[in-house]
Amino acid sequence: MRLKDKVALITGGSSGIGKETALLFAKQGASVVLTDIDGDGGMAVQKQIQEAGGKAAFFKADVSKAEECEAMVLFTEKQFGALHILFNNAGIMHSEDGDAVGTEEAIFDLTFGINVKGVFFGCKYGIPAMRRSGGGSIINTASFVAHLGAATPQLAYTASKGAVLSMTRELAVIHARENIRVNALCPGPLRTELLMKFLNTEEKKQRRLVHIPMGRFGEAKEMAQAALFLASDESSYTTGSEFLVDGGITAAYVTPESPKTT
């Protein structure tokens, strides 16, 4: 098993990418703590893991609050004795998130509070725990929109994921010699509840699909497989990376840098 004897903390673990990753990590031998504001959903995932013979615990937490992030890390260490993998995955994409003119300040602040401060707080309290465990792997969920502007306006979300990506790079550099790796998982458009609620008309869905070379939305299980690679020792020389798992969308629209001349 690829995560035998590892302890993983996954935020946003009650649904979508977080849920599928929790199930996969447990199957691969990790002891998993999943957190979410959805208590019923989180407990259901915990039960599903335990019934399959895995080790799991749920801790209800709002990642936009520093004290709750500190508590979830302490809970993980108390429950399983260490922290080796931190998946800062919790995030929102608000239905009222639009362009700069139409997006309210409260929506912008809410999005940044969860998507950006949640990653910051996870690292603030998770990194000391990883030091105590001898190192580990941090995975931050960014997005392909950190590289591209979105066809459907979602300014707060896009800006927040750009912040996650730049934060990941700096954290990777700072902690590289502490045996702590930090990478960003950048999913493409996924068939998750989060995105489908945002793309709430067929017109919006088609505006997104037309840009994807594979012609389909990705699945949360496919992101979990990517997270497994970044969490495992198979990626031991990988840090500061932008792991794009996006159906080819950025390859189709990002222009390569021109060759430098001398």
Q: Is residue 31 part of a domain?
A: yes
58 close to 31: Cβ distance less than 8 angstroms: no
Q: Is residue 2 part of a domain?
A: no
Q: What is the pLDDT of residues 80-113, one digit of tens each?
A: 999 999 999 999 999 899 999 999 999 999 999 9
Q: Is residue 198 part of a domain?
A: yes
Could you list the active site residues? 157
pLDDT at res. 191: 84
Q: What's the alpha-carbon Rg for the chain, to the nearest Å?
A: 18
pLDDT at res. 200: 77
Q: What is the pLDDT of residues 204-248, one digit of tens each?
A: 788 778 888 998 899 999 999 999 999 999 999 999 999 999 999
Task: Tell me the whole-structure pTM to 2 decimals.
Answer: 0.93
Residue 58: CATH number of its domain: 3.40.50.720
Strand pairing class (136-141; 180-187):
parallel
Q: What is the pLDDT of residues 130-185, one digit of tens each?
A: 999 999 999 999 999 999 888 778 999 999 999 999 999 999 999 999 999 999 99
Please list the residues that pair with 57 across neighbouring strands: 33
Q: Is residue 133 part of a domain?
A: yes
Tokens of 157: 């979300």
Domain that holds residue 71: 7-246
- Phi then psi for residue 216, to 5 deg, are -150, 160
Domain total for the chain? 1
- Phi then psi for residue 148, to 5 deg, are -125, 150
Q: Is residue 253 part of a domain?
A: no
Nearest partner of 160 among 201, 223, 115, judged by Cα: 115
Q: Is residue 26 part of a domain?
A: yes
Q: Is residue 140 part of a domain?
A: yes
Nearest partner of 82 among 123, 129, 121, 32, judged by Cα: 129
Q: Is residue 65 part of a domain?
A: yes
